[in-house]
Structure 1
Amino acid sequence: MMDDMDSFFLSELHIYPIKSLGGISLEKARLEEKGLQYDRRWMLVDEEGTFITQRKYFELALLAVSISDNRLIISHKIQTNQSISFDLEEDNGTQIPVVIWNDTTAGVEVNTEVSNWFSDFLKFKVKLVKMPVAEKRMVDPRYALNDEVVSFADGYPCLLIGQSSLNGLNEKLQKPIRMDRFRPNFVFTGGTPHIEDQFDTFSIGGTLFSAVKPCARCVLITIDQQTGEKGQEPLRTLASYRTINKKILFGQNLLHQHSGIISIGDELKVINWKMENG
């Protein structure tokens, strides 16, 4: 059992509107059924409708995303003359099947111009699709608690990481890395490295969460989000002390019970702790 005197506070809040592109840091965000508002509601797919990510296309790290005047803006981090934008509500109205991991769900192309811009950037044919509001992509039933749904995120509506976990990793690395490698929605301060592994149920800003599954990490965390360059770290070092059942774990996947507003500075209050080896 952990020390109940520990205090935890939300220090960072991020959304990633287009899967595998740059994130947006926020002061506060609305938590909806599928996760934070606008988080992973758009995704790039190839001609077969299969999702595209940085795991294979490292250069996607160079595309920054912002929201302004009800528009989503995509811009190149280095070649600043490359950018495109579209209205948050825009799509062509025709649903197509899209594949993300083992799920087939629905997507709607934003428009041809946007898809062509991304095709030119990647040098092969892709479409940018939006998830329809009414679409129900279900969370893995082995971990779902109440038939929860998820956006185009890998599998769960939200991801939580403790700042102490990154600090502990950086102490082991020759060159420290930034939290953006891990693409969390929530970062909190307080406690020891990986204390989030012991959270069972907790609240942030009055919203109840359950930590249902550790996040297994992949090659994506070896891509520098500022340069798009791939290395061996931190995956190699992380594997040396965070491999459990042949998976490299860092952070906790979350489910939530209701909507609400989450803000930087909110206290994270642990309600139930997991057993030490649970």
Structure 2
Amino acid sequence: MQLSALYRYPLKSAQGEVLQQSSCGLLGLTGDRRWMLVERDSGRFLTQRAHPRMSQLSALYDAEGGLLLSAPGQDTLRVSIPGPDDDLRGVTLWRDTLRVPDAGDAAADWLSVFMGIAVRLVHVPEQRTRYLPAGYGENSDRVAFADGFPLLLIGQASLDDLVQRVGRPLTMQRFRPNLVVEGSAPFAEDGWKRIRIGTQTFRVLKPCTRCILTTIDPQTGERSADREPLTTLKTFRQKEGDVMFGQNLVADGEGVLEVGMPVTVLE
């Protein structure tokens, strides 16, 4: 087995980027989901679940470490990373409430035009990250703005199996993984507890619960009228009311991942 793809999502629920190599540590791939959009007044987080338009929003890091925002019909905007204690804003992400730096009015105005509602852009420095959901991982494990866990892994064979069942092509980006593994049997990752990629080890904590976001085409931002692939997933991947696809992981220590590295199941 080998690592066949790496994906990073600098801004939660915006477009992802394909990487050949990335450092990886406590918070997953370096720079992954460190930025987030929130409602201006409530501070509640925004995602494609309610705002499919976010699938057309690009947010990529530049050489200086800032964020480059681009979207159809708008000029590119560069946003600097705010200091860890600058202009702290209260935000809500699922059941978590935290105070994180706001990225300023220029970014907020640019994004509010694109979204069509009043929003703010926030960044989470390492010292303000969250604990994992209760009952998972160790006390030292942390997560940035991902829903609950720093890494998501999907086996390529699992997607291939799903595509065959659905009967039409589906891109891996639709499921927003960080790590894709090639050479395993379909859904083999369900049985993994600990793996090694290259020289770095990872703990597999739980299956990933899937939602309506999987029905949004990342290329067009449109939802599938037949609610695929969620409809098909429900027929064979549903457990206690939740639909599972992929596995959530945490990294042990720091390392560097590169596409093509061998993947070994340790437990």
> Which of 47, 52, 57 matches 1:58?
52
Aligned to 2:216: 223
Aligned to 1:192: 185
Structure-2 separation of matches of 1:247 and 1:155: 15
Change (3 A) 1:164 1:271: same
> Which of 229, 248, 251 matches 2:246?
251
Equivalent pairs counted in the alignment come to: 263
Aligned to 2:28: 35
1:160 and 1:184 in contact (8 A); partners too: yes
Structure-2 separation of matches of 1:221 and 1:160: 15
Change (3 A) 1:132 1:176: same
Q: Does 1:115 align with 2:108?
A: yes
Q: How does 1:140-219 map to 2 (within 5 A)?
A: 140-219=133-212
Change (3 A) 1:80 1:189: farther
2:45 partner amino acid: F
Aligned to 1:5: none
4+ residue segments displaced more than 4 Å: 88-92
State percent identity of aligned pairs: 37
Query: Alpha-carbon deviation of 1:161?
Result: 0.3
Query: Alpha-carbon deviation of 1:68?
Result: 2.6
Q: How does 1:10-21 map to 2 (within 5 A)?
A: 10-21=3-14
Query: Alpha-carbon deviation of 1:81?
Result: 4.5
Q: How does 1:118-129 map to 2 (within 5 A)?
A: 118-129=111-122
Change (3 A) 1:133 1:143: closer
Aligned to 1:97: 90
Moved more, 142-151 or 189-198: 142-151
Alpha-carbon displacement from aligned partner over 1:159-191 (angstroms, at most 9, x marks no partner): 000000100000012321100011000001012
Structure-2 separation of matches of 1:59 and 1:226: 11
Secondary structure at 1:221's aligned position in 2?
helix
Aligned to 1:267: 262
> Which of 14, 19, 24 matches 1:26?
19
Q: How does 1:67-82 map to 2 (within 5 A)?
A: 67-70=61-64, 71-76=66-71, 79=72, 81-82=74-75
Aligned to 1:83: 76
Q: Which runs of 5+ in 1 are unaligned?
A: 1-7, 273-278
Q: Which runs of 5+ in 2 are unaligned?
A: none
1:92 and 1:110 in contact (8 A); partners too: no
Structure-1 separation of matches of 2:214 and 2:236: 16
Structure-2 separation of matches of 1:204 and 1:185: 13
Secondary structure at 2:128's aligned position in 1?
coil
Structure-2 separation of matches of 1:81 and 1:93: 27
1:159 partner amino acid: L
| TM-score, with structure 2 as normaliser | 0.94
